[in-house]
Amino acid sequence: MLIYSAYQSTTELISTMKSREYDVLLLDILMPGISGIQAANEIREFNELVKIIFLSSSPEFAVESYQVKAYNYLLKPVSKEKLFHLLDQLIMEDQKPQEGLRVKTQKTISFILFSRIVFVEVIQKKLYFHLTDGSVREINASLSSIEDMLLCRPEFVKIHRSYLVNLWHVSEISSKELITSTGKTLPVSRLLYGKVRKAYMEHLFIEKE
């Protein structure tokens, strides 16, 4: 059964969310009080899991929306067919098993969700999986051993000979470096920058079908 609530302000929403859980939030960008982006920043401080869909009459806040890990950014007017299709997609994603890969560390065999990987770094003959909770998984392997598995997914891109990055966790990008959602600054290869920038821009405006 679908249960929903409507709020007159972002302040009221944030206050309620501290004692009540929601699966999805539909947030307008411009609202009374603080904006939808500001509200999302506050919500992310205590809730990393809720999926946020922004509604706006302008695309100018799209980049900011993905810095708070927005699920989607819809431009008004939004047809009910498009909105319902997106909500159906969310339900299907919640019902299917989450995808990831198994890695063998020095002591254990771990299953890492693709969604939890911020970036993968290679140093000499070791791979380091940097995860969203700040932890790092270390394995003895080369970057080439996992490239095919990750780069076949649209959210992953190679930014340097030593780094693969999950675009869902990129906050800023320039011609020489990018900043992840966990605050790490990583180098971007001059030769790969064009490809990385194109992938990032496409990812910002990805249409979920």
CATH number of 83's domain: 3.40.50.2300
Q: Identify the CATH number of the domain in which residue 186 sits.
A: 2.40.50.1020
Question: How buried is 52 (Cβ within 10 angstroms: 0-12 exposed, 13-18 middle, 19+ buried)?
Answer: buried
Contact in structure between 41 and 52 (CB atoms under 8 Å): no
CA 91, distance to chain mean position in Å, is: 18
Instruction: Output the pLDDT for position 131.
Output: 92
In tens, the pLDDT along 95-104 reads 666 688 887 7
Q: Is residue 20 part of a domain?
A: yes
Residue 187: pLDDT over 60? yes
Among 46, 61, 95, which residue terminates a domain?
95
| Count of the separate structural domains present in the chain | 2
Q: What is the domain range of residue 155?
A: 100-204
Instruction: Output the pLDDT for position 209.
Output: 43
Among 72, 95, 118, which residue terminates a domain?
95
Among 41, 65, 95, which residue terminates a domain?
95
Q: Are residues 107 and 174 in the same domain?
A: yes
What are 187's strand-pairing partners? 177
Share of the chain above pLDDT 70, in %: 93
Q: Which of 95-104, 174-183, 194-203 has the lowest mean pLDDT?
A: 95-104
Instruction: Output the pLDDT for position 179.
Output: 94
Q: Are residues 45 and 131 in the same domain?
A: no
